[in-house]
């Protein structure tokens, strides 16, 4: 090893022939190291620094004079593995080389620089210089900055993770939908059959409310997995925050107090109610975990504020935020606080400081995505040992700034006497939907096979006024069935239902001539409303 290294050095810089040329040799040696694109450091066998070039000083954040003679561990660098966990001292590159007396190649390392308290990622190569007795006399280490390269790699890796999560979430949602549909459907039928003054009524209402919450959760999973659009509407946040507070109070221990200050005057925002509920719950859970061991106080408030980024709003997450009136949701705790060196990472997907089983690293990432998607921004204030405060700013809808509330109209089921063909491979779901629709007066024919449904339609195309088909069907998928039905009768209204599909969206369905698109689980109210909607154009032509 020593012979190979000496030959290499002699070829590159040459050795002095006599003592008189030593100064020229050293100058040449220094010049070569100075102009290298890589950082180079030389250690003594005890890991103390002998020398380094300018690039190394730049990357390490310390100059040669401050490093010379000091052990690597004394300079208080925090080395990180590729997964951002601390690198054990015995695994430091210099210690590996000394221990094994072998070179290392392309060792990826994060260096938390003490001077600037930031992390630079480097690829390290190094080798030992051995004396005549085979002992390490010096260690030469070179490294190049790969921070941008690693960032791009992490982004690609993150995209692949998110894609995998999307597929997994979609599969879970599909199966969960098939469980929810009969729960919702049978609850709706029981609600119609049982008198309003029955002692069972309150239990049925609770079952139905829980089912709707589960339905919203499935929709939120699909939105996160980019398989469904969020339902954006004009809403007031007050009732959503209060509803979340009830759930929070019932789930956290008495050692944590809750204070709330919900202003009735806070204006209307344009958002998905389920996503707003998700924001409150995620921030509240984080606050709870920050105070879990010591106890404390959680404060949740809502008020209307004015933001002006041109003045003193430099600490806002979204730099493109516009001047205007915003609904400000604040969730504060008196917990452990967030260390300064990780504040810029807390919204990164999968980043978490919680113990295993306490968090996935997706909570704040989801909050960030929702807020930015609504045109809002976030401000975070935190101090170690004193607590953390999250301020969520969501723009108030200008046309509703002077209004006190939003009128929401509940549309009752209308029903009809039209003839409907239902196609679904789940016999339980067919039976349920048939019973629900027949209660509303519809004449229902059902088929559990796309092929059988196509033959029934082909034999008498005018027998049916509407076709309702599931997307995921064996032998022939729902969209392909729709294409064949439209070939036979171009004006036939078709409703396509799905719990999850990577190849079908509402826009694509409409472009194919399919009149309606519904995401499972479907309530009878939603189904009846969509049936009346797709039938309306036909009725106008009659």
Residue corresponding to tokens 């006399």: 137
Residue 82 above 50 pLDDT? Answer: yes
User: Residue ranges per domain, the chain?
Assistant: 2-145, 152-224, 237-400, 419-541
The answer to which of 112-121, 252-261, 384-393, 450-459 has the lowest mean pLDDT is 112-121
Q: In the numeric block, which tokens belong to residue 474?
A: 């064996």
Largest distance between two CA atoms of the chain: 110
pLDDT average, residue stretch 370-381:
87
- How many C-beta atoms lie closer than 10 Å to residue 307's C-beta? 20
- pLDDT band for 5, please (50, 70, 90 cuts): very low
Looking at domain 152-224, its CATH class is mainly alpha
DSSP label at 340?
G
> 182-188, long-range: CB within 8 Å, 24+ apart, which pairs?
182/428, 182/429, 182/432, 183/207, 183/211, 184/208, 184/211, 184/212, 184/215, 184/521, 184/523, 185/432, 185/433, 185/435, 185/436, 185/524, 186/432, 187/211, 188/436, 188/523, 188/524
pTM to 2 decimal places: 0.46
Pick 402 or 459 by higher pLDDT.
459
Look at residue 504 in the predicted model and tell me its pLDDT: 74
Looking at domain 237-400, its CATH class is alpha beta
- pLDDT band for 385, please (50, 70, 90 cuts): confident
Pick 32 or 1 by higher pLDDT.
32
The answer to which of 62-71, 412-421, 434-443 has the lowest mean pLDDT is 62-71
Look at residue 330 in the predicted model and tell me its pLDDT: 94
Look at residue 230 in the predicted model and tell me its pLDDT: 58
Pick 158 or 45 by higher pLDDT.
45
CATH architecture of 419-541: 3-Layer(aba) Sandwich (3.40)
**305 φ/ψ angles, rounded to the nearest 5 degrees:** -135, 165
- pLDDT band for 224, please (50, 70, 90 cuts): low
Look at residue 509 in the predicted model and tell me its pLDDT: 85
In angstroms, rounded to a whole number, what is the distance separating the alpha carbons of residues 169 and 499? 11
The answer to whether the 237-400 and 419-541 domains have the same CATH topology is no
Q: In what order do the strands lie in the sheet with 443-447?
A: 443-447, 419-423, 466-470, 494-498, 516-519
- Contact between residue 468 and residue 420 where contact means Cβ atoms under 8 Å apart: yes
Look at residue 451 in the predicted model and tell me its pLDDT: 94
The answer to which of 89-98, 157-166, 223-232 has the lowest mean pLDDT is 223-232
pLDDT average, residue stretch 275-299:
89
For the ranges 67-71, 288-292, 521-525, the maximum mean pLDDT occurs at 288-292
pLDDT average, residue stretch 83-107:
88
Residue 7 above 50 pLDDT? Answer: no
Look at residue 369 in the predicted model and tell me its pLDDT: 82
Residue 210 above 70 pLDDT? Answer: yes
pLDDT for 484-504, tens place per residue?
A: 999 999 999 999 988 766 667
Look at residue 500 in the predicted model and tell me its pLDDT: 66
Look at residue 23 in the predicted model and tell me its pLDDT: 54
pLDDT for 153-184, tens place per residue?
A: 877 776 676 667 667 766 777 777 778 888 88
Length of the chain: 542
pLDDT for 501-538, tens place per residue?
A: 666 777 888 888 899 888 877 888 888 889 998 887 65
pLDDT average, residue stretch 280-288:
89
- How many C-beta atoms lie closer than 10 Å to residue 210's C-beta? 12
| Residue 388: its H or E element | strand 387-395
Look at residue 203 in the predicted model and tell me its pLDDT: 83
In angstroms, rounded to a whole number, what is the distance separating the alpha carbons of residues 284 and 252? 10
Look at residue 404 in the predicted model and tell me its pLDDT: 40
- pLDDT band for 35, please (50, 70, 90 cuts): low
Residue 254 above 90 pLDDT? Answer: no
Look at residue 433 in the predicted model and tell me its pLDDT: 86
Residue 441 above 60 pLDDT? Answer: yes
CATH architecture of 2-145: 2-Layer Sandwich (3.30)
DSSP label at 53?
-
> 452-457, long-range: CB within 8 Å, 24+ apart, which pairs?
453/421, 453/423, 453/481, 454/481, 454/484, 454/485, 456/421, 457/421, 457/485, 457/488, 457/489
In angstroms, rounded to a whole number, what is the distance separating the alpha carbons of residues 120 and 112? 7
Residue 75 above 70 pLDDT? Answer: no
Average pLDDT across the chain, whole number: 79
For a pLDDT cut of 70, what percent of the chain falls above it? 77
What Rg do the C-alpha atoms of the chain give, in angstroms?
33
């Amino acid at each position: 090893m020593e012979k190979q290294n000496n030959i290499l050095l002699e070829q590159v810089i040459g050795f002095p022939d006599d003592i008189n040329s030593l100064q020229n040799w050293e100058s040449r040696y220094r010049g070569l190291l100075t102009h290298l694109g890589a950082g180079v450091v030389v250690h003594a066998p005890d890991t103390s620094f002998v020398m380094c070039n300018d690039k190394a000083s730049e990357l390490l954040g310390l100059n040669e004079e401050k490093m010379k003679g000091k052990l690597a561990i004394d300079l208080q660098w925090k080395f990180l593995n590729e997964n951002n966990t601390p690198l054990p001292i015995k695994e430091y590159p210099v210690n590996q080389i000394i221990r094994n007396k072998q070179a290392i190649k392309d060792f990826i390392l994060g260096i938390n620089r003490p001077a600037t308290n930031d992390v630079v990622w480097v690829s390290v190569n190094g080798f030992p210089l051995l004396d005549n007795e085979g002992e390490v006399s010096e260690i030469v280490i070179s490294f190049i900055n790969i921070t941008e390269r690693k960032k791009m790699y992490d982004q690609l890796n993150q995209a692949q993770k998110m894609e995998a999560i999307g597929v997994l979430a979609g599969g879970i949602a599909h199966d969960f939908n098939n469980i929810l549909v009969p729960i919702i459907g049978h609850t709706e039928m029981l609600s119609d059959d049982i008198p309003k003054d029955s002692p069972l009524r309150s239990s049925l209402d609770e079952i139905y409310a829980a089912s709707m919450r589960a339905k919203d959760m499935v929709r939120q999973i699909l939105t996160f997995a980019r398989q469904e659009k969020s339902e954006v509407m004009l809403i007031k946040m007050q009732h959503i925050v209060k509803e979340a507070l009830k759930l929070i109070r019932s789930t956290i221990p008495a050692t944590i107090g809750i204070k709330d200050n919900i202003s009735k005057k806070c204006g209307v925002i344009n958002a998905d109610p389920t996503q707003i509920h998700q924001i409150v719950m995620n921030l509240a859970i984080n606050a709870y975990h920050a105070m879990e061991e010591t106890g404390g106080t959680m404060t949740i408030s809502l008020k209307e504020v004015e933001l002006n980024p041109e003045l003193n709003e430099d600490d806002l997450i979204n730099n493109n935020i516009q001047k205007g009136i915003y609904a400000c949701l604040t969730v504060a705790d008196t917990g452990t606080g967030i260390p300064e060196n990780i504040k810029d990472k807390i919204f990164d997907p999968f980043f978490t400081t919680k113990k295993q089983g306490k968090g996935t690293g997706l909570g704040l990432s989801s909050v960030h995505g929702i807020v930015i998607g609504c045109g809002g921004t976030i401000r975070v204030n935190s101090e170690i040992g004193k607590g953390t405060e999250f301020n969520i700013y969501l723009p108030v809808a200008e046309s509703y700034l002077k209004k006190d509330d939003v009128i929401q109209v509940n549309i009752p089921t209308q029903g009809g006497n039209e003839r409907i063909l239902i196609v679904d491979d789940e016999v339980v779901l067919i039976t349920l939907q048939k019973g629900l629709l027949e209660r509303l007066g519809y004449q229902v024919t059902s088929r559990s096979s796309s092929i059988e449904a196509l033959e029934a339609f082909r034999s008498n195309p005018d027998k049916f006024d509407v076709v309702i088909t599931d997307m995921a069907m064996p032998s022939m998928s729902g969209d392909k069935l729709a294409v064949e039905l439209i070939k036979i009768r171009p004006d036939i209204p078709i409703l396509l239902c799905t719990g999850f599909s990577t190849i079908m969206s509402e826009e694509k369905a409409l472009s194919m001539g399919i009149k309606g698109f519904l995401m499972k689980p479907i309530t009878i109210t939603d189904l009846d409303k969509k049936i009346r909607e797709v039938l309306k154009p036909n009725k106008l032509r009659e």
